[in-house]
Structure 1
Amino acid sequence: MNHYDFQDQVAVITGGAKGIGMSIARRLAESGARVVIWDRHPTAPEETLGNERGHAVLEVDVGDYRSVQRALDSTLKIGGGVDVLVNSAGVVGPDCPLWEYPLDQWERVQRVNLDGTFYACRAVVPEMIRRGYGRVLNIASIAGKEGNANGSAYSAAKAAVIAMTKSLGKELAGHDIAVNCITPAAAKTDLMLEMSEDYIAAVLAKIPRGRFVTVEEIAALSAWLCSRENSFTTGAAFDISGGRATY
């Protein structure tokens, strides 16, 4: 395992109590970061990050800006600043044709995936500018590049996250703040519980590698993107789709 030095850094991971977010949180904690998880369903820090002291888990609804701002205030009291922000909180929503998509579910998917990413960036970035350093990583999806049939809400939200990443990366290019996103293929996480068996089979059939990506593989790519060694690349989307997309 490649090692990146996150000593004396504070990393905020939204949706870090499980799935991709939890894997990234563990990888950064193992590399020395003080991790603060923002999650709607928090668990005890030791359940996610081990018994090392200093980590924290806060109950946060990323789709509510007031909740995000309160979480930032608490995080600043815990660690004094934020060096790394990983936006991993997400929901898939139902799989059905666009013309049958429930309006409330469309709003839910956008609120968590898109608004939540925007809210966290809006709150945290000024702190990074103030401190003169930061790394922002947004977890998008291959669906945001290609679109998934019967997944219009999720695909649209993740496409917007990719575009927002590019915009913010350009806006912060004059600072030592890198903003990037990754576009994973499907991983076996709790998000799959929202998908039908037919939908899962259709997604898997599109991956040339013939398997789902692991959360550990996603965390490995994320660690570099969140590190000081990523000192030049910004506003980019990094593919980790097993060959499904090559652009």
Structure 2
Amino acid sequence: MTVFDGASLRGRVAVVTGASRGIGLSICEHLRAMGAQVVQLDVLFPEESEVPVEANGMLAMRCDVADPASVALMASTVRTAFGRCDVLVNNAGITASPAALEDFPIDEWDRVFRVNLRGALLCAQALVPMMFEAQAGSIVNVASISARSPTRAVAYGATKAGLRALTQQMAVEWGPRRIGRPEDIGGIVAFLASDASGYINGEDIVADGGFLKAALNNLYNNPAQ
């Protein structure tokens, strides 16, 4: 049983935001190499590509993740074309010029939050129903070390910290729909043993389908306890 080969994601549909270059493009190429049908989303694609255009074995589509109408059109297109979405990678992100917090322009604050945090929620809301229907799926939210350590990129770090919190909220609400199996742990160990995890070091990796967070959250919010 292999984790990373040309068939490991065969038959699955992966949607990646911020996918025209950099980390997003690399994610797309890796998922495609594993057999997935990849849908690349980016606001940088030409406006006429709101209808997906095939390129390099993937489908490229213009989508403004901060715009509910654009996201809804994207989700409808994915459903019509494939009838499923197995993987969503929320990678789209922007930043602003460094500035002191007391001087940070509020319009820039709102712009960064619309893309980095609101956009991730909109895409998840639009695509997760197909995962519910299949009773399986993966949502990967790409954050940053700025989520843990403040920088001069004021709004960027705040959005990435918010994205970490949103990820935990997704785990609490959506994670319990999956029942763990031994191969879930086996796959993680195989990943950590492979070159794909070469830049991970000293991390405490919790693999529980969101159980721990959901259990503690329910205990805290139960007035009878």
> Does TM, normalized by the shorter one, top 0.5?
yes
Matched, 1:25 2:32: no
Question: Kindly tell me: are residues 235 and 39 of structure 1, through their superposed partners in 2, closer, same or farther at Cα, counting changes over 3 Å?
Answer: farther
Cα deviation, 1:147-199, whole Å, max 9, x if unaligned, reads: 11x21100100000000100111111222399xxxxxxxxxxxxxxxxxxxxx
- Counterpart CA distance in 2 for 1:79 and 1:131 is 13
Structure 1: tracts of 5 or more residues without a match: 179-218, 222-229, 237-247
Q: CA deviation at 1:220?
A: 3.6
Q: Which residue of 2 aligns with 1:194?
A: none
Query: What amino acid sits opposite 1:171 in the alignment?
Result: E
Cα deviation, 1:55-95, whole Å, max 9, x if unaligned, reads: 31111000011110100001112221100000000001111
- Counterpart CA distance in 1 for 2:14 and 2:122 is 16
Within the candidate set 156, 159, 166, 1:157 is matched to: 159
Q: Which has the larger helix fraction? A: 2
- Counterpart CA distance in 1 for 2:169 and 2:143 is 15
Cα deviation, 1:125-153, whole Å, max 9, x if unaligned, reads: 122111111000000111011111x2110
Alignment of 1:185-200 (within 5 A): none
Q: Which residue of 2 aligns with 1:7?
A: 10
Identity of matched residues, %: 33
Q: Which residue of 2 aligns with 1:114?
A: 117
Matched, 1:172 2:200: no
Within the candidate set 72, 77, 86, 1:74 is matched to: 77
Q: Which residue of 2 aligns with 1:42?
A: 45
Question: Kindly tell me: are residues 135 and 79 of structure 1, through their superposed partners in 2, closer, same or farther at Cα, counting changes over 3 Å?
Answer: same
Aligned residues: 181
Within the candidate set 137, 147, 157, 2:140 is matched to: 137
Contact 1:133 1:177 in 2 (8 A): no
Query: What amino acid sits opposite 1:130 in the alignment?
Result: E
The two structures have a TM-score, normalised by structure 2, of: 0.74
Structure 2: tracts of 5 or more residues without a match: 47-52, 181-194, 198-205, 213-225
- Counterpart CA distance in 1 for 2:44 and 2:134 is 30
Question: Kindly tell me: are residues 233 and 176 of structure 1, through their superposed partners in 2, closer, same or farther at Cα, counting changes over 3 Å?
Answer: closer
Question: Kindly tell me: are residues 23 and 88 of structure 1, through their superposed partners in 2, closer, same or farther at Cα, counting changes over 3 Å?
Answer: same
- Counterpart CA distance in 1 for 2:11 and 2:122 is 25
CA RMSD of aligned residues (A): 2.6
Query: What amino acid sits opposite 1:162 in the alignment?
Result: R
The 3-state SS of whatever aligns with 1:15 is coil
Contact 1:63 1:119 in 2 (8 A): yes
Question: Kindly tell me: are residues 94 and 32 of structure 1, through their superposed partners in 2, closer, same or farther at Cα, counting changes over 3 Å?
Answer: same
Indicate the structure whose relative CO is greater, using CA pairs within 8 Å and at least 6 residues apart.
Answer: 1
Greater Cα radius of gyration, structure 1 or 2: 2
